[in-house]
A = this chain, B = another copy of it.
Amino acid sequence: MTSFHFHYTPSGHGRARLGEIHTPHGVIKTPAFIFCATKASIKGVTPSMMKEAHTQIILSNTYHLFLQPGADIVEKAGGLHKFMGWNGPMLTDSGGFQIFSLGHGSVSSEVKGKRTNLRPKTLLKITEEGATFRSYMDGKIHLLTPEKSIETQVKLGADLIVSFDECTPFHVDKNYTARSMRMSHRWGMRSLTAFNDLNTQGSQRLYGIIQGGVYEDLRKESCDFVNTHAFFGHAIGGSLGADKAQMYDVVEMTAKELDPSRPIHLLGIGGVKDIFKGVAQGIDTFDCVHPTRLARHGGALVKTENNTVKGRDHINLNNGWCKNDHTPIEPDCACSTCTHFSKAYLHHLLKAQELLAHTLITAHNVFFMNRLMEAVREALASNALDRIYPTWVND
């Protein structure tokens, strides 16, 4: 199968580039945003609504699907695309992030430099072999290894899959980060070997993961590792620092070391401002639960002109001022929500605790992100990234 390839055109804006990732399920125009269908479902939104909102690619989480319904059931269904009715490009992660996230309390907090530790620890042991953890669902003990992660992802059948790694937390020291990164490299090689054994039909491609925390020399070592191994693409993982400024530094120090001929994904990051910063560093794809999670709390993403609150990327439709506002979230938005429903109606649905609120606001936020990425791609083509920045980022 020769349907996979990546090509790009450099733009006049730093390392930013326009590209295309070709997969058997379609082409992803990059820079692109990947939406999280954690448990094989975008919460409250059908695949056809996602398509209608111009979505190019979604991802599902191997950790959740490994535990439920299990990869064998998805394989028997004919793979994730058929199981969930998504006939477009798809990515699965390795399961590592969630093992370590749920394991340490929350790596998501760790990655962002917060030391909160409220959840029960389910990570039991990390050895050279893999990670032993307790299921958050039924308490059963599982061992996930690079081989098991790849086997699971091959059964799930997403177009793009990811090497198994240890997602190093933020609060550990440089020695731990270095040791962990090197184990992730060995896990990366085992992932690659397992993938080459199992990807007999050539219907998938593997991304390697870059670790190394906030340390430039380690990030460089990790980039050297992925550059010199036969990964299709590269994903920047691990701790990106204590704040946005450090995150942008880590992304920059990493992205500049990566082989530009391969697509670059930035794991778990996708704020509107982050996207502008990431694109400028040559990031091709982003993923984040933010747009869909925000929607379920009543937050609708808006451009600067539709937002009076500085520094905010959204308006909160729960707020009282929406009660009698009969205009759409964004008057110039062509999404199915803005063309049919007002803020007053969405406010009413939220107050009435109607499920449809989640569906409609999510549909807007998805369309918003895709529209943002379209605008970014257009701007790159005409060297106008800086000019469109204030339209989208309210800072």
Contacts and interface: CB of A to CB of B under 8 A. Distances in A.
Interface stretch (A1-9, A42-50, A229-237, A251-259): A42-50
Q: Which 3 A-B pairs have the closest CB atoms?
A: A44-B355, A85-B340, A39-B352
28 contacts: A39-B348, A39-B352, A41-B354, A41-B356, A43-B354, A43-B355, A44-B355, A44-B359, A46-B359, A47-B340, A48-B340, A68-B351, A68-B352, A69-B348, A69-B351, A73-B344, A73-B348, A76-B326, A77-B326, A77-B342, A77-B345, A83-B342, A83-B345, A84-B341, A84-B345, A85-B340, A355-B358, A355-B359
Interface of A: 39-49, 64, 68-69, 73, 76-78, 83-85, 323-324, 326, 336, 340-342, 344-345, 347-349, 351-352, 354-356, 358-360
A350 to B, nearest CB: 11
Contact of A77 (B44, B68, B83, B344): B344
Contacts of A326: 76-78
Contacts of A76: 324, 326, 344
A324 B49 CA distance: 26
Nearest to A360: B46
A138 B73 CA distance: 47
Q: Which of A76, A340, A349 has the most CB of B within 10 A?
A: A340
Given A45-B356, A64-B352, 7 more contacts: A43-B355, A44-B356, A46-B359, A48-B340, A68-B348, A355-B359, A359-B359
A55 to B, nearest CB: 15
A44 B362 CA distance: 12
Nearest to A45: B356
A336 B39 contact: no
A363 to B, nearest CB: 8
A336 B48 contact: yes
A68 B324 CA distance: 12
Nearest to A324: B73
Nearest to A339: B85
Contacts of A345: 40, 77, 83-85
Nearest to A356: B41
Contact of A39 (B47, B68, B354): B354
A28 to B, nearest CB: 22
A44 to B, nearest CB: 4
A348 B71 CA distance: 12
Given A41-B356, A43-B356, A355-B359, A69 B344 contact: yes
A318 to B, nearest CB: 13
Contacts of A73: 323-324, 344, 348
